[in-house]
Amino acid sequence: MAKSKVNTVFFCTECGYESSKWMGQCPACKAWNTFAEETIQKGSGKSGGYARQESLNKSNPVSISQIEMGEDERIKTRIDEFDRVLGGGIVGGSLVLIGGDPGIGKSTLLLQVCQNLSNDHRRVLYISGEESLKQIKMRAIRLGEFSDSLMLLCETNLAMIEENIKTSNPEVVVIDSIQTMYEENTASAPGSVGQVRESTAVLLRIAKSTGISIFIVGHVTKEGAVAGPRMLEHMVDSVLYFEGDRYASYRILRGVKNRFGSTNEIGVFEMRQDGLTEVKNPSEFMLSGKPQGASGCVVACSMEGTRPILVEIQSLVCQSNLGIPRRQAAGCDYNRVNLLMAVLEKRLGMQLSGCDAYVNMAGGMRIVEPAVDLGIAMAIISSYKNKVLDEKTAVFGEIGLSGEVRAVNFAEARIKEIEKMGFERCILPKASMPHVKSSKTMKLIGVDSVKEAIEQI
């Protein structure tokens, strides 16, 4: 029998590039200081998840015309917000990664998905490497009734997990979490770069060869990215991030990668004592508690995937007593706020260089779409001049460096959402006016520049 030999290699934590020595810059992804040392074992007869082919049958090429599709290949979870982010439901044989901060509700969301699937008489296997069976049962009691179709397993050895999957033959498997799993033929510790990569490769092989849909929970780093090699996100079919403040009630499920649907969809949830509840109307939820008659408050419309959402933009501008004025932005791009303030100074002659400025997206939403530029600018102007914008007015539009208001996409959908929420006026780019229908209950005001827009304040 050949003796096993333990070698030390270095993996790039961003892309998974392997090197025999440490390097300051990764030659593959050009990232600096990302190499981590790992130990691997060679000569033991098996080389890990990538080379394990003993359970795979021989595959041959098939003509695309010979592949038959059923009427509905997706599994509905009966959680509409979750299905929306996935692109309409769970695709058979898919591997989905869900990341989020500790305590944000990842395990609770997946347990509710398992609850609905099991109540629909679908076989579900929930595998936990972090909690005992009694701890999972305690959390399940809080969520409601479960059927016998849901099976629980506490295991971290992927070889044992694969045997249990073959024995129980479930339709959906949940792995909580990938950082606790380990592959026997990889010598490094669970949670390391090598183990995460090999474990994901084994789960990917299981999903594609058996047609079982697998959800894996991933921890995140302090920068907000999923811990482990960046290649992990390239291997899976979908990547979902569960966002929000753990001390607040709202939660946002955002899709950043999806091979079976849009990558811009979001799902909005509210954390309650009995679990996560869907927010059917996010616009109403985000505008709840809006102050009456306060300056610096403007309602803007943003598109998240195919869904228009109204958000309240708050701004506070005051004279600064510091040598360098303070600027802060919560829920939007800080550099974008500075750019818009520079446009207001240059094109409108507003003296903002000596003022502190604070911009906040109420409700905890993070908006990066340029269509909220007009809302941010009007909120800053409203606070600076201490003038209140009409409470029945909503705005949207992108602002250029010349102070012009540029057209944005999905103008018709935005106007319908604004009208549905009971607003009576809408300030929008004049270039978008030919692409929208006139409204009987709402006045549409087209503007070419920021100067025209502030005349409405």
Give per-residue pLDDT as tens, 347-388.
999 999 899 999 999 877 888 899 999 999 999 999 999 999
CATH no. of 285-454: 3.30.230.10
Question: What is the DSSP secondary structure assignment for residue 91, as one 8-state letter?
Answer: E
Residues forming a β-bridge with 74: 91
Q: Which residue has the tokens 């060869």?
A: 209
Q: Which residue has the tokens 């398992």?
A: 114
The confidence score (pLDDT) of residue 40 equals 64
Residue 121 main-chain phi, psi, to 5 deg? 65, 35
Give the strand order in the sheet containing 124-128: 150-154, 124-128, 172-176, 213-218, 95-100, 238-243, 250-258, 266-272, 275-278
Question: Which H or E run includes 286?
Answer: helix 282-287
Is the pLDDT confidence value at 246 over 80?
Answer: no
Q: If we measure between CA atoms, which residue out of 123, 107, 351, 98 comes closest to residue 237?
A: 98
The confidence score (pLDDT) of residue 43 equals 46
Average pLDDT, the chain: 86
SS3 315: strand
SS3 205: helix
Contacts of 53 (CB under 8 A, 6+ apart): none
Which tens digits make up the pLDDT trace of 386-436? 999 999 999 999 999 999 999 999 999 999 999 999 999 999 999 999 888
SS3 261: coil
3-state helix, strand, coil in the chain (%, to 5): 30, 30, 45
Residues forming a β-bridge with 232: none
Q: Report whether the peptide linkage leading into residue 177 is cis, meaning its omega lies within 30 degrees of zero.
A: yes
Which tens digits make up the pLDDT trace of 90-145? 999 999 999 888 888 899 999 999 999 999 999 999 999 989 999 999 989 889 88
Is the pLDDT confidence value at 42 over 70?
Answer: no
- Of all residues in the chain, the percent with pLDDT exceeding 70 is 90
Could you give the CA distance from residue 260 to residue 237 in angstroms, rounded to a whole number? 8
Is the pLDDT confidence value at 149 over 80?
Answer: yes
Could you give the CA distance from residue 242 to residue 268 in angstroms, rounded to a whole number? 10
Q: Would you place residue 41 in the very low, low, confident or very high pLDDT band (cuts 50, 70, 90)?
A: low
Q: What is the pTM of this model?
A: 0.76
In CATH, which of 3.40.50.450, 3.30.310.220, 3.40.50.620, 3.40.50.300 is domain 75-280?
3.40.50.300
